[in-house]
């Protein structure tokens, strides 16, 4: 008895191999999904997780507030600096205008 190794047999073997590969990929994905869900359930049942989560939320909220407050203070300093620079420039312009008026004959 001889086996037929013609083109039809090779195509059938390739189709069978790809079908088997898809089934194994699907099975692997389902196993990984089950493991992931098991870990998630275990994590959500752990009281330490809630402690860490609450601590992280508190740190993020207070850190955000502190950053915003710091930004507000920096902006206020910038506004005050700009005001001083504008006053200094206005003073310089007035002095220069006064000097020009004195220099003009008349």
pLDDT given at position 42: 93
Q: Is the pLDDT of residue 4 over 80?
A: no
- 16 vs 80, which has greater pLDDT? 80
Kindly state the average pLDDT of the residues 21-46. 93
User: What is the mean pLDDT of the segment spanning 83-98?
Assistant: 94
Kindly state the tokens that stand for 61: 């909220």
pLDDT of residue 5: 53
Q: Which residues contact 43 (CB under 8 A, 6 or more apart)?
A: 49
Confidence of residue 21 (pLDDT cuts 50, 70, 90): confident
Using an 8 Å Cβ cutoff, are 43 and 49 in contact? yes
Kindly report the average pLDDT of the chain as a whole number: 86
Q: pTM for the full model?
A: 0.45
pLDDT over 70 (residue 1): no
């Amino acid at each position: 008895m001889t086996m037929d190794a013609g083109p039809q047999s090779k195509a059938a073997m390739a189709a069978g191999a790809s079908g088997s590969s898809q089934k194994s990929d699907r099975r692997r994905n389902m196993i990984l999904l089950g493991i992931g869900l098991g870990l998630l359930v275990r994590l959500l049942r752990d009281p330490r997780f809630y402690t860490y989560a609450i601590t992280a939320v508190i740190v993020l909220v207070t850190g955000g507030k502190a950053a915003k407050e710091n930004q507000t203070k920096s902006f206020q300093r910038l506004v005050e600096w700009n005001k001083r620079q504008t006053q200094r420039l206005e003073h310089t312009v007035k002095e220069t205008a006064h000097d020009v008026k004195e220099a003009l004959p008349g």
